[in-house]
Structure 1
Amino acid sequence: MLAGVIAVGLVPGGASAAPGDWALPDGGWAQDGYGPGNTGVNPNEHTITTRNAGKLRYRWSVLSAVTRSGCLAQSAPVVAGRRLFLPDANGFAAYDAVTGQRLWRRNVGIYDSETPKFAVSGNLLLSASNTCGSVSDPDVDLAAYDVATGAKRWSVKRDAPMAHMVVDRNVVAVGGGDAGEDRVSVYRRSDGTLLWSAAELELAADVSADGRLLLARTGEKKGSMAVDIVTGKELWSTKARWTVAAADPAGERFIVGDATGKLHALDARNGNTVWSAGGIAREDGTATIAVDDTRIYATHDTHLIALDAKTGKKIWDQEFLSNPLGQPTVAGGVVYAPIEDGWLAIRDARTGDDLDDLPLVGDVHGHAVVTGGHLYVTNGRVLDVFTP
């Protein structure tokens, strides 16, 4: 079964758009967390705003031959240069981000793979894929493909899984662990050359703060350390074990959690704690947040919370009398937060007020992506697209 598209207003013919036509008005959503800071915030969205976010209309869908019951599912897309990239049963495909027209498809034989991680940098689509179900000896591939044609440019194998991937400073950093060890590896974006690799270190999220990685030690040594993403040089270290979640848009602060459930802002230059806030992170230190210049938006169980980014003080707290909420994203002054087994909450980022009286979008797998006046959401098999 090949991936299909159900679309409104398709462009006839199968030719790719000309390079000069690729750019969306705001540049897209090129990594899973928008950019290397994993902020989950698109600061350049000006079409879907608080004025019309609750009045969106369905436009078209993309169906992938995957199932959420297995290892491989359709993921929240990455979007760049008017191209949208999605995995399917045996590879992945590029679609016109405005019309849904499929531009090309690449079969890479990943039928036994977990859902790959994608990022676009320059003219390359980076893909990190892990073999499904292999814990002790995973078969892991990192590859780069031409965004215009899908042609493979380079590929490398890694002896440890790639649970996280972030692209910054023209390098690709991946991290993950198996039964043997945790390992972080960094490759040159242009050709896949390994620049450095270090064991007994954990990259907990797809985060680079202005070219810095915050890594947790997993061996005999305890604590955390920040390193230069290009060279691996240690910049500072601390005895505290932080679980990084995001960076602020300027790359000046890491936003981290700890085992007590507190969220902290750390100065990315030296590791000093700027502020702390309780009741935001989970007991394992992970946190689901989005970060803009003024606020941090967090989901904690059934609560959607906004904190002051400078002080950590709570601005508003909206409780949902339903199921827990997932990863929030922000664009055009609007917060989008999926409710488990429910609908997509659409709230005013400034006040937390509901903008969608009659919920239109439901069963969201992962998180919403908003770019170029389009809202993209997937249920794990079907990508639905909405516009004003």
Structure 2
Amino acid sequence: MDVPPHTGDLDLSAVTDADRLHALLRTLQARAGLSYREVESRTRKAGHHVSKSNVAEILKGNRYPRRESLVAIVEACGVPPGELTDWVRAWERVAAASHTGPEPDELVKSSRQEAERIVAEARLEAGAILEAAWRRAEPPGERTAMFRGGPSRSGTYAPGIKPPSWRPWSFNAIGAASSSPVVEGRTVFLGGGGYLHAVDAFTGEENWRYQAGTVDSSAAVVDTSVYVGSGDGFIFGAWYVHSIDRHTGKSRWRFATDGPVLSSPAVAGGAVHVGCEDGRLWTLDAATGDPRWCYQSDGPVTSSPAVVHGVVYMGSQAGHLTALDARNGNVCWTVPMDGPVAASAAVVQGTVYVSTYSGRTYAMDALTGLLHWSFAPDEPINSSPAVDGTSVYVTTCEGNLWCLDAPTGRPYWKHEVGARLDSSPVLAGGIVYVGSADGCVYAIDTETRRRRWRMQTGGAVRSTPSAAHGIVYLRSDDGRLYAIDAETGASAL
């Protein structure tokens, strides 16, 4: 849908009951001309999935939506970011005046069971799809994969199942680098040794390599294109953002920047959003590489932007977190932090979670930037949080993995790894995976809070693992990419 639906006659300020809010939602859907399935598809692509059955129940008036679900649905129907606040205020009035709206205490109490139910359903659905995939060609349609699981940077992955004949493997990625593996379908994309490598996810055989200079950025894959930044202008005379054909490894376009690109691209709405060490956040046309707009920050941008519901969230080394309108780069809000923001923010269910190197993790309202809570373990933090909607997982430079309650920031538990943790945690199937300076990757069970397994590599693990197909993929400073059994930790070593 190219033109947003007309909403000027929808008097949201007069909404005081659930029936009226449901009626306006149905009117919006009808004007947008979208089916329940199309609304679901758009919420998934935007980073907050509302299932078809939930969309139907909400629009029929049988279920009062959570706030984040309402935002996702109206955004999917074409309401621009600047008009979302009116819908949220209407939702808040109804929730405050009626028992049909979920009370905060009830949300906190039930959120973990709801998340477990959703995860269980997702496992069954993903397992059936993957089992069938082993027996036929990959299905057509847009396929995406990005650093930390997608444009929301939540750090969460579906657990998946391994192919019947799979065996652990390792691949020589030629030297140490901080580029993290990104898995899409049967291919792992990883920077190393002056190249972007495309490696078969099941066998470890290289499909192609693309010469790009130093690649500390992690790839973003959308359909047939791969996007990545390079950081070695001393060899190539400039720094670039590259677009590469995912099947052939041939260049489609490249865009020159004025500084190294350590940030990993986020691709949404036909645009590539990526930070640069010269302090700029670039938004490029995904098809041509032409710049759409540029935002000049007050310090180097090494963190990777998150994009959710038409808003770009970026941190700077100068200590600010900024929300920008993805269409034109206009500032929605900016918040000063207590230290440099080198890691990426995660945006989940209407909340932005971000950590600073000074040692504090923040949770802020995604629409307004207002603070919900902050947590300070008095330990430097150089990593991004992983968020599943009910819990927030944070690693510190002093070797601790913290689990926090997502709504309140209250610590649930702490697991002491015992070695420096610069690698960001990722979550798949109830297990947190994280690499450490002692050269190991650790698997921590979120229920028992105990270590499931540990796998030793030949160098420090500073990059962020990725999980797919029941396999954990990680790169080590020994120069190798490892594919490890996610359940047992079995490896090719």
Question: Within the alignment, does 1:67 sit opposite 2:165 as a pair?
Answer: no
Q: Which amino acid aligns with 1:21?
A: A
Q: Indicate which of 183, 186, 208 corresponds to 2:306.
A: 208
Task: Tell me, yes or no, if the aligned pair for 2:435 and 2:464 is still in contact at 8 Å.
Answer: yes
Q: Indicate which of 152, 155, 175 corresponds to 1:37.
A: 152
Q: Indicate which of 244, 257, 260 corresponds to 1:161.
A: 260
Q: Indicate which of 449, 465, 482 corresponds to 1:384.
A: 482
- Per the alignment, residue 277 of structure 1 pairs with 375
Aligned to 1:384, the other structure's residue is in SS state strand
State how far apart, in whole Å, the 1-side matches of 2:418 and 2:384 are: 19
- Per the alignment, residue 66 of structure 2 pairs with none
Q: Indicate which of 134, 146, 153 corresponds to 2:245.
A: 146
Mapping for residues 309-324 of structure 1, pairs under 5 Å: 309-324=406-421
Mapping for residues 7-156 of structure 1, pairs under 5 Å: 21-22=137-138, 30-42=145-157, 44-47=158-161, 59-64=168-173, 66-68=174-176, 73=177, 75-103=179-207, 105-108=208-211, 110=212, 112-131=213-232, 139-156=238-255
- Per the alignment, residue 292 of structure 1 pairs with 388
Task: Tell me, yes or no, if the aligned pair for 2:151 and 2:306 is still in contact at 8 Å.
Answer: yes
Task: Tell me, yes or no, if the aligned pair for 1:131 and 1:140 is still in contact at 8 Å.
Answer: yes
Q: Indicate which of 170, 194, 197 corresponds to 2:270.
A: 170
Q: Give the Å deviation of 1:215.
A: 4.2
Q: Give the Å deviation of 1:272.
A: 0.8
Mapping for residues 193-232 of structure 1, pairs under 5 Å: 193-202=290-299, 203=301, 205-210=303-308, 211-215=310-314, 224-232=321-329
Q: Indicate which of 435, 443, 466 corresponds to 1:369.
A: 466
1:85-111: CA deviation from partner (whole Å, max 9, x where unpaired): 2334343332221222333x2442x4x
Q: Indicate which of 421, 425, 436 corresponds to 1:328.
A: 425
1:183-225: CA deviation from partner (whole Å, max 9, x where unpaired): 1111011211100012234545213241322345789xx9553
Q: Which amino acid aligns with 1:261?
A: G
Q: Give the Å deviation of 1:166.
A: 2.2
State how far apart, in whole Å, the 2-side matches of 1:323 and 1:286 are: 10
1:238-262: CA deviation from partner (whole Å, max 9, x where unpaired): 4556736322334x11112357532
Q: Which runs of 5+ in 1 are unaligned?
A: 1-16, 49-56
Q: Which runs of 5+ in 2 are unaligned?
A: 1-132, 488-493
State how far apart, in whole Å, the 2-side matches of 1:214 and 1:199 are: 14
Aligned to 1:248, the other structure's residue is in SS state strand
Mapping for residues 185-264 of structure 1, pairs under 5 Å: 185-202=282-299, 203=301, 205-210=303-308, 211-215=310-314, 224-238=321-335, 243=341, 245-250=344-349, 252-258=350-356, 261-264=359-362
Task: Tell me, yes or no, if the aligned pair for 2:383 and 2:422 is still in contact at 8 Å.
Answer: no
Q: Give the Å deviation of 1:313.
A: 0.6
Q: Which amino acid aligns with 1:254?
A: V
State how far apart, in whole Å, the 1-side matches of 2:234 and 2:275 are: 18
Taking a change above 3 Å as real, the CA distance of residues 361 and 370 of structure 1, as seen in their structure-2 partners, is farther
Q: Which amino acid aligns with 1:279?
A: P
State how far apart, in whole Å, the 1-side matches of 2:390 and 2:436 are: 24
Taking a change above 3 Å as real, the CA distance of residues 207 and 217 of structure 1, as seen in their structure-2 partners, is closer
Taking a change above 3 Å as real, the CA distance of residues 60 and 238 of structure 1, as seen in their structure-2 partners, is closer
Aligned to 1:33, the other structure's residue is in SS state helix
State how far apart, in whole Å, the 2-side matches of 1:35 and 1:201 are: 26
RMSD (Å), alpha carbons: 3.2
Q: Which amino acid aligns with 2:388?
A: D
Task: Tell me, yes or no, if the aligned pair for 1:74 and 1:382 is still in contact at 8 Å.
Answer: no
Question: Within the alignment, does 1:338 sit opposite 2:445 as a pair?
Answer: no
State how far apart, in whole Å, the 1-side matches of 2:274 and 2:348 are: 21
State how far apart, in whole Å, the 1-side matches of 2:314 and 2:303 are: 9
Task: Tell me, yes or no, if the aligned pair for 1:306 and 1:314 is still in contact at 8 Å.
Answer: yes
